[in-house]
Amino acid sequence: MTDDIILSTRDLKRYFNLGGGMLAKTGTIRAVDGVTLDIRRGETFAIVGESGCGKSTLARLLMRLLQPTSGEVTFDGWDIATLNGRALSALRRDMQFIFQDPFSSLNPRMSVGRLIAEPLETHFPQMTAADRREKVAGLLRQVGLRPEHAGRYPHEFSGGQRQRIGIARALASGPKLIIGDEPVSALDVSVQAQVINLLGDLRDDLGLTLIIIAHDLAVIRHMSDRVAVMYLGEIVEIGTADEIFETPRHPYTLALLSAIPVAEHGRETTRIALIGETPSPAAPPPGCRFHTRCRFAKDRCRTDVTPLRSVKNEHRAACHLFEEIARTREETIAPAVAKRQGAAEARFALYRSAIEGRGVRPQDQTQHDREETIQ
C-alpha cells in the first residue's frame, strides 16, 4: 500500500445467510462479492449503482460496521479486521459516516450543542467543558451555521441545516475520511448544491478523503474525482469521473447514464432500456452477471465470467465486448447518452453557480429551499 492510498480492499466479500422458519427462503445473499479498490488520500470517490447492488453494504464493510465474510480492508496501513481496543477507537475517530436522513440520525432530545459535543467527549475525554464549547462553536461556523444554534434542537432546522449538523458532528473527531451514504438525496436540488459544495470545501480545507455512495449521477458527476459502478455485488466499471461520464464502456453504465431524467414535455427521448428485473443476489446469473439484462449479450456472456479489463490508463470495465460496443455506441447509443448527459449538465451548472457565489436564482427555489436561509 503506497502512501497516497488511504483505504484499500482486496477481494472483499460479504454474504448473508437467508433461512429460518418453514416459509422462509433459504440461500446466501452475495451482497458484496469480490471487491478490490484503492482509495487515494484527498480524493472524492463515488460508488454508484441501483438499489440493492451492494454499495451500502460495501460502505459498512469499509467502516467495520460489518465484518467481511472474506477479503481484506486496509486503512492507513492497518488491517481493520484485526483492530480492537484503542486501535479500533482510533479507527472510529479517523473514519466518520454521514447518513442519508439527518433527522433520523440526530437524537431529537439532544440540543445541537450536545449532539456535536458527544463525539468530542468520546474521543477527547481530556478536553475541558470550556474548550468543548469553543470547539462546538467553531464546528458550527465551519458548516455555515452560527454558534448560537448550539442551544436549539434538530426539529427547529430545515433538512439542509440538519445535514450540516450531521456534518459538524462527523467533523468533531477530526477524521481523515468521511463516507456519505446518499448524503444529499433527501434534500431539494438547490439545497443539495449547498451541501455538496460545503463537502467539497471541507475536503479541500481539511485534506479529507470522501467516499460518496449515491444513485444520482448528476451529484456524482459534480463532486467526484473517480467513480466505481456496482452491479449485483461486483464492480463492473471504474475510472475517473470524466472517463465514466464521457466514454462509458460497460452496457450497465450506459443504461444508467441514459436513465438520467430529461425535462422535455411530450417529447420522445431515447433510453437504453434495461431488460427485466435485477436478478436476486442470492442466485446471481452465471458468466457475466449482467447478461440477463444486456442488449449486447452473446453466448460467451452466459458462461464466461467477466473480470475487470483495462480500457485506457486506469479506466477498467468488466465486459467481454466493450471494444465492439464502443463502435456501436458511436453510431446508435451516443446520442441518447449525450442527451441525458446534457440534462445532467444543467444540474451541474446549478451546482457550479452555487460554487461561484452566484447562488441560486429565487425562481429556482422551492419553499423548502427558502427555509434553508439560515436564521
The C-alpha cell of 229 is what?
459502478
DSSP category for residue 224: -
Give whichever of 68 and 251 is closer to ligand SF4, judged by the CB atom: 251
Q: Using CA atoms, how far apart are residues 35 and 93, in angstroms rounded to an integer? A: 25
- Only one of the segments 99-107, 128-136, 292-300, 357-365 lies at the binding site for ligand SF4 (rule: CB under 6 A); that segment is 292-300
307: phi then psi, degrees, rounded to nearest 5: -70, 160
Considering only 75-83, 127-135, 288-296, 329-337, which stretch makes contact with ligand SF4 by CB under 6 A? 288-296
C-beta of 163 vs 306, nearer to ligand SF4: 306
Give the list of residues 6+ apart from residue 15 with CB closer than 8 angstroms, or none. Answer: 28, 29, 30, 31, 33, 69
Contacts with ligand SF4 in 216-255 (CB under 6 A)? Answer: 250-251
User: Contact region for ligand SF4 (CB under 6 A) — 14-22, 135-143, 315-323, 364-372?
Assistant: 315-323
In whole angstroms, what is the distance from residue 229 CA to residue 45 CA?
A: 11
- The residue with cell 460467451 is 300
List the one residue from 320, 329, 340, 347 that touches ligand SF4 (CB under 6 A): 320
Shortest approach of ligand SF4 to residue 306 CB, angstroms? 5
- Among 212, 321, 336, 360, contact with ligand SF4 (rule: CB under 6 A): 321
Stretch that binds ligand SF4, among 57-65, 79-87, 147-155, 316-324 (CB under 6 A): 316-324
Closest distance to ligand SF4 from the beta carbon of 284 (Å):
12
Using CB under 6 A as the binding rule, whether residue 278 contacts ligand SF4 is answered as no
299-316: burial string, b at 16+ Cβ within 10 Å, e else? eebeeeebebeebeeebb
- Is 142 buried (19+), middle (13-18) or exposed (0-12) by CB count in 10 A? middle
Pick from 194, 224, 306, 341 the residue near ligand SF4 by CB under 6 A.
306
Residue 294 touches ligand SF4, criterion: CB under 6 A: yes
Residue 234 CB, shortest distance to ligand SF4, in Å, is: 11
User: From the CB of 27, what's the least distance to ligand SF4, in Å?
Assistant: 23
Helix H or strand E segment including 115: helix 112-123
Count the Cβ atoms, other than its own, within 10 Å of residue 107.
12
Size of the site for ligand SF4 (CB under 6 A): 13
Length of the chain, in residues: 375
For the chain, percent helix, then strand, then coil, each to nearest 5?
45, 20, 35
List the one residue from 164, 176, 226, 291 that touches ligand SF4 (CB under 6 A).
291
- Which stretches of the chain bind ligand SF4, using CB under 6 A? 250-251, 288, 290-291, 294, 296-297, 301, 306, 319-321
